[in-house]
Each structure stands twice: as structure tokens, then as C-alpha cells.
Amino acid sequence: MNFHQYNYTKPFQLENGQILENLTIAYHTAGTLNPEKNNIIWVCHALTANSDVFDWWAGLFGENELFNPKDHFIICANVIGSNYGTTNPLSTNPETNSPYYRDFPTITIKDMSNAHQLLADHLGISTIHLLIGGSLGGQQALEFTLLNQVKVDNLVLLATNAIHSPWGIAFNESQRLAIEADSTFNDKTENGGRNGLIAARTIAMLSYRTYIIYEQKQKDEDSVYNDFKASSYQKYQGEKLANRFNAHSYWTLSKAMDSQNLARNRESLEKSLSQISSNTLVIGISSDILFPPSEQKFIANHIPNAKFIEIDSIFGHDGFLVELQELNTILEHLV
Amino acid sequence: MNFHQYNYTKPFQLENGQILENLTIAYHTAGTLNPEKNNIIWVCHALTANSDVFDWWAGLFGENELFNPKDHFIICANVIGSNYGTTNPLSTNPETNSPYYRDFPTITIKDMSNAHQLLADHLGISTIHLLIGGSLGGQQALEFTLLNQVKVDNLVLLATNAIHSPWGIAFNESQRLAIEADSTFNDKTENGGRNGLIAARTIAMLSYRTYIIYEQKQKDEDSVYNDFKASSYQKYQGEKLANRFNAHSYWTLSKAMDSQNLARNRESLEKSLSQISSNTLVIGISSDILFPPSEQKFIANHIPNAKFIEIDSIFGHDGFLVELQELNTILEHLV
């Protein structure tokens, strides 16, 4: 995919009233717009992913995959707050000429979606053939559709919700408390809060996976009373993330996930969903404890042209990234 | 209940080969031993509880409850590592004349059970009418029974397991990583690691409760995008624990929970369980994600005189402390 950055030089108004003086939006594209302008696939990425969808959704997106650059013009934009090229807490605060760090404003899913709209305007996009996203990406896809400025022909929402649950907020709060327990989070450095971030990611892993997956893959073969495989796995996953992410972006994005509520400044969740006219497919993972299928059923029940499909999987929330064979089957009619 | 402390002045050998030069065991009792010596109820407490079972299991234990001091001689001992009177990381290390803190040795469930046996010997107890424990308490009750030095007539195990799962270990590891992310955990003070402990407890709450309980009790009534009720609840629960516990004891006890494995230095889990001759009742909570009912079914399947009962509850792991009406019904034949 090709990496681009779009610099929006006007003030960008956030939902909380604050203003980002300027906004850089990083995005990847692959393929070209066809003459009929009906081959655009817009992907919204999840919490710690980047805009290179061929990298993190290989098996579904790629040169020779179901969604490929020969047939489609594929776009994915990095969200505000993320450290993959879009304005984020490590960007320079024009007021102080040094990075924002903890002064970065609270970002909502709606702010992210407004930024997607800016990019769509910049690229002259008025119709999207397929808008697709899972988890935090699905939250954006819903808001982006509700902005009602681009026409979304097909909407695919995976393992996501219309309002973030108290349970999900509590999981995110525990992660933020772990980051805040690391006093280096207050240091004005890129690595501030690294140990807290490691702990936070391990908490997130528990919400992304399941008892049965840990049982199958992290069980010790010998009778030990210390240094368990599951402990090493947690540390490994935490460090792996900390080597490619930072505590400030993580903190900001987890707050954005919590902000998801299609009813805020609207009549109700049901009414908001009922205004979506896209041909919609809502996909849930049977064992997802973070965004349980009941949340996707709710969405599908209130969008007029929606269908709900549950993937039977032991992978939990991560199933939307892992169950590729199933997803290829479910989505092939959308090519 | 009456508080006592028993000082065992000989060296106490731990499972990892280390020695505690002396051991203080705190315990509570209520009631008196009857002439037939067949009215002893021995309770094993869970992770952060104390030995005052009338305090934390009111509704089942108390002056006028199913298990009461008029009919029974009730005993509960505080486990090694806990800060409610038994030797723990804040106790004085005789080698240095200052508290152990992070030098406190690794404690296992078997060590806790060996300490229970010392107390039973001290009190001249050779037969227990009812041995009961949930979670970490159930883990001890199993090991205590397998020591085979006291005769356990009736064994009641709630929301517990014969081997701690990789999933359970991962949950505990995330909590320890949160504590370790707080660099004050290395300070040699009672409050060292307090912020980490707060985060750790909030993680534990997620494993003790369920999506539906958070949905019912922590849902915001207004459309907010910040300061969610679920966030406040997490912080409140974390601080509440940190005001009565310390990071060192918590760290030690979470490691002990991970150590549960009835097969260690024995032939197998199945063989170990098959050697228990007590009349056994194993109780699971339908929505427990930390110690799921499959773990209690496994125990009941391998103890010869065991029966499994599942309590249908939305409270998750905490159900064993909360579903008091159900427990009274299930246990009344044991009085």
C-alpha cells in the first residue's frame, strides 16, 4: 500500500469544544478508482493498528486476496491520537512548540469520523462501495455513516457496538489505571509510562481472548509453581506492543473507545441506527467477551437493511482478525 | 468471633525449599467443641479476606445463621502472606530485623495448608465435620484434605479448582505487572506499590464480576463522553482495597493462587482427587469466568463421593459470596 499524509491547515473542532490548530491525517491507499467510481473500499482500523491494512488484515486484504488493488481502490486512514502518522499526543503542540503528552485533548469516535470525512472531501469521495471496520474501527464506521456526507452502499461492522458498555469502559479504565500507576507517564518523554503500557496491554489481551485459547496454547507441560508459560506470554505480549506503541496514544485511544455512544446529541440509539440506509452486515464472534454478540444483534435489529451473522469461534474478540476463512466466505458477495 | 494468634517457634519448611524461621498464625474461632468433638467447621478464606468469617460471609456464618456458634465450633485461619495477623511480607525478617517486603519467599497453596495442619495439631483437632472454602479457600481445602492428617467428614468446595488455569494465571500476572509498573513497589514501605495495587484490584474485579452486572449497576443515565460511572466504580473498588491491604501481600497471595496444582509431586490430578474420601459437594457459579464451572465439574467427577451443583447466577465468581439464599438451601443438610 502507499503511504500518504494530508495536512488540514484549518482549525479542527473537537466534540469536547477544544480545537486542534492543524491536523495531519496519515493514510494508506492501494489500487485506483475506476471510471464508474464504485470500487472504493474504506477500512477503519482498530485500537493499536495502523493504516496499512495489507499488513494487519492479510488474508482478507492484499494483492491476491478477496479485497485487492486490481479490483478495488482501498483506503485506510490512521485515527487521531494514534502514533502511526496522524496527529497524536507525541505531535508538536503549536501552543508550546513541544509534544502534547498528557495535554493532548480528549478525542471521541465522532472526532475520528469527522477526520475521515475531511479526508474523503480532500480525495473527492462521495460514494463508498464498502465501508468496513471491527472493534474501534466498527465504532468509527457507524459514526462515519451517520455523518451522512458520503453515501455508503455497503456497511460491514465486526465485533463492535453502538454504545460502549460499562464492562468495556471498566476494562479500559483498569488499563489506564495501570498506565497511571507508572509515574514515568508524567515524564515528558516518548517512553513515559512504558511499564504501565505493558501491564495495560496484558489486561487487554484477556479481553481479546478466551479461557479456552489460553488453556490450549499457554498450558505448562511440567508441574511448576513459578515461571508459568501464561505469565511469560503476558509479558511478551505487553513488551511487543510497548516496542511499537506509546502509553500516551494508548491512553487517548482507549478513552475514544469509551466515548462511543450513537445517542449522544441525538434522540436515541435506536433512532440513530434506523437512519442508516446502507446494505449492512453485522458480524459477531460467539466467544467475544469484550464486544459480545448481543451488541451486534442490537445494531442489526435497528438498521433497516441489516443482517446479523455470528461466527462460531473460540478466539474471542480477536476472532474478527483471525477467522479469515469464515470472513472470506461471508464477504465474497461484496466484491 | 474471637481473635487468636499461634506462634509456631520452629522453622517452617516451605515447598520451594526456603524456611520461615518462625511462623505466626492468626485465627478466629466461635463456639465450643462439643463432647463428641464432631461439630467443627473449618473455613478457608479467599484472596483478600481475613479469618473473621462472620464479617465476610455473614448470611451463612453468624450468631443466628445456618453455621452458628451455638451449634458449631467454627475456625478460620488467616493464610501465610496475608496482612491480617499471619506472617506476611510486612512481618519482620529475623535475618535483617526489618520487614521482608519483596524478599518474602514464594508461598504455595500447599504451604498454606501445612500451616492449617500446624494449627489443627496445636488445637488437638483430628476430625473436621465440615471443611469449606471458595476460590483460593477451596484450593486450600483440597490440599488440606489431601494432607490426610485430619479426617474431613464433609468437604464443600466453591468456585475453585484442582489446578489453576493459564487464563487465571494470566489474570494474576497482569495484576502483578500493574503493581510492578508502580516503581514505589520497590520502596521499603508499607504503602509501596499502592497505585499499582489499585489498578490490580480493578483488574481482579473484572474477573470476579460479569458484563451483565456492570451493565445493570454501572450504566450512565446521561450521554457523557468522559467521567463514566464504570470508571469511577473501578477507582472506588481499587482504593477501597488499597485502604485495607498492601501490594506485597497481594502480590504474594496471587502467586500462591497460581501455584495450585494437585498433581505437583503426585501422580496426576485425577489420582489425587480419587484419594479424597470425604462426602464432597462442589459448587460452581454459572457465570464465573475466572473459575468456570468446568473446573468444579472436573473435581466432582474424580472425587468418589462428590456431587456437583451449579448455581445459576449473573454475579460471576463473586457469586459464591453473594448467592447466600441459594447457599443456605444447598448446605442446610450439613448442619
Q: What is the CATH number of the domain that holds B221?
A: 1.10.1740.110
Taking only the tens place, the pLDDT of each residue in B282-310 is 999 999 999 999 999 999 999 999 999 99
pLDDT mean over A84-104: 97
| CB-count exposure of residue A181 (10 Å: 0-12, 13-18, 19+) | buried
Q: How far is B225 from chain A (nearest CA, A)?
A: 5
Taking only the tens place, the pLDDT of each residue in B56-84 is 999 999 999 999 999 999 999 999 999 99
Distances (CA, A) of B40 to A101, B81, B121, B322: 60, 25, 14, 24
Taking only the tens place, the pLDDT of each residue in B114-133 is 999 999 999 999 999 999 99
Residue B42 pLDDT exceeds 90? yes
Q: Are the beta carbons of A206 and B170 separated by less than 8 Å?
A: yes
pLDDT band for position B110 (cuts 50, 70, 90)? very high
Same domain, A202 and A230: yes
Residue B223 is predicted with a pLDDT of 86
HEC assignment per residue over chain B: CEEEEEEECCCEECCCCCEECCEEEEEEEECCCCCCCCCEEEEECCCCCCCCHHHHCCCCECCCCCECCCCCEEEEECCCCCCCCCCCCCCEECCCCEECHHHCCCCCHHHHHHHHHHHHHHHCCCEEEEEEEECHHHHHHHHHHHHCCCEEEEEEEECCCCECCHHHHHHHHHHHHHHHHCHHHHCCCCCCCHHHHHHHHHHHHHHHCCHHHHHHHCCCCCCCCCCCHHHHHHHHHHHHHHCCCCHHHHHHHHHHHHHCECCCCCCCHHHHHHCCCCEEEEEEECCCCCCCHHHHHHHHHHCCCEEEEEECCCCHHHHHHHCHHHHHHHHHHHC
- Residue of chain A with shortest Cα separation from B229: A166
- Of A256, A257, A41, nearest to A160 by C-alpha is A257
The Cα A160–Cα A292 span in angstroms is: 8
> Which of chain A's residues have a Cβ under 8 Å away from the Cβ of B113?
none
Taking only the tens place, the pLDDT of each residue in A265-285 is 999 999 999 999 999 999 999
Q: Are the beta carbons of B178 and A203 separated by less than 8 Å?
A: yes
* B16 neighbors B108 (Cβ within 8 angstroms): yes
Same domain, B12 and B26: yes
Q: How far is B171 from chain A (nearest CA, A)?
A: 7
Domain end residue (candidates: B205, B222, B256): B256
Cell numbers linked to B300: 466432582
Taking only the tens place, the pLDDT of each residue in A226-258 is 899 999 999 999 999 999 999 999 999 999 999
- Residue of chain A with shortest Cα separation from B206: A171
The Cα A201–Cα A241 span in angstroms is: 7
The Cα B140–Cα B62 span in angstroms is: 22
Distances (CA, A) of B18 to B105, B118, B247: 7, 17, 22
Residue B159 is predicted with a pLDDT of 98
pLDDT band for position B11 (cuts 50, 70, 90)? very high
Which residues lie below 8 Å from residue A46, measured CB to CB, with a gap of 6+?
A133, A134, A135, A136, A137, A321
The dihedral sign for the CA sequence B207, A142, A295, A233:
negative
Residue A222 pLDDT exceeds 90? no
Residue A109 pLDDT exceeds 90? yes
CATH number of the structural domain spanning residue A79: 3.40.50.1820
Residue A260 is predicted with a pLDDT of 98
* A285 neighbors A327 (Cβ within 8 angstroms): no
Domain end residue (candidates: A256, A277, A311): A256
Taking only the tens place, the pLDDT of each residue in B135-194 is 999 999 999 999 999 999 999 999 999 999 999 999 999 999 999 999 999 999 999 999
The Cα B87–Cα B92 span in angstroms is: 9
Same domain, A30 and A97: yes
Same domain, B79 and B176: no
- Of A275, A320, A315, nearest to A138 by C-alpha is A320
* B207 neighbors B318 (Cβ within 8 angstroms): no
> Which of chain B's residues have a Cβ under 8 Å away from the Cβ of A108?
225
- Residue A7: other Cβ atoms inside 10 A: 10
- Residue B217: other Cβ atoms inside 10 A: 12
| CB-count exposure of residue B131 (10 Å: 0-12, 13-18, 19+) | buried
Q: Across all residues in chain A, what is the average pLDDT?
A: 97
Same domain, B134 and B176: no
Cα B296 off chain centre by: 16
Annotated binding site of A: 201, 318
Same domain, A180 and A271: no
Q: How far is B150 from chain A (nearest CA, A)?
A: 25
Residue A223 pLDDT exceeds 90? no
Tell me which residue in A166, A177, A223 faces B218 most closely, judged by beta carbons: A166
Same domain, B150 and B18: yes
Quote the number of domains for chain B. 2
Q: How far is B100 from chain A (nearest CA, A)?
A: 19
Same domain, A84 and A212: no
pLDDT band for position B224 (cuts 50, 70, 90)? confident
Residue B1 is predicted with a pLDDT of 97
Same domain, A122 and A202: no
- Percent with pLDDT over 70 in chain A: 100
Residue B116 exposure: Cα atoms within 13 Å on the Cβ side: 33
Q: Are the beta carbons of B170 and A264 separated by less than 8 Å?
A: no
Q: Where in the sequence is the domain holding A222, given as residue range(s)?
A: 168-256
Same domain, B40 and B140: yes
Residue B70 is predicted with a pLDDT of 98
What's phi and psi for B221, nearest 5 deg? Answer: -85, -30
Residue B222 is predicted with a pLDDT of 85
Q: Are the beta carbons of B210 and A167 separated by less than 8 Å?
A: yes
Whole-prediction pTM value?
0.97
Residue B284 is predicted with a pLDDT of 98
Domain end residue (candidates: B256, B284, B299): B256
> Which of chain A's residues have a Cβ under 8 Å away from the Cβ of B233?
166, 170
Same domain, B84 and B186: no
Q: Cα-Cα-Cα-Cα dihedral of B61, B63, B69, B74, to 10°?
A: 30
Same domain, A104 and A151: yes
Residue A67 is predicted with a pLDDT of 98
More confident residue, A221 or A86: A86
Tell me which residue in A106, A231, A258 faces B169 most closely, judged by beta carbons: A231
> Which of chain A's residues have a Cβ under 8 Å away from the Cβ of B255?
226
The Cα B218–Cα B237 span in angstroms is: 13
Interface test with A, best of B177, B195, B255, B262 (most A CBs within 10 A): B177
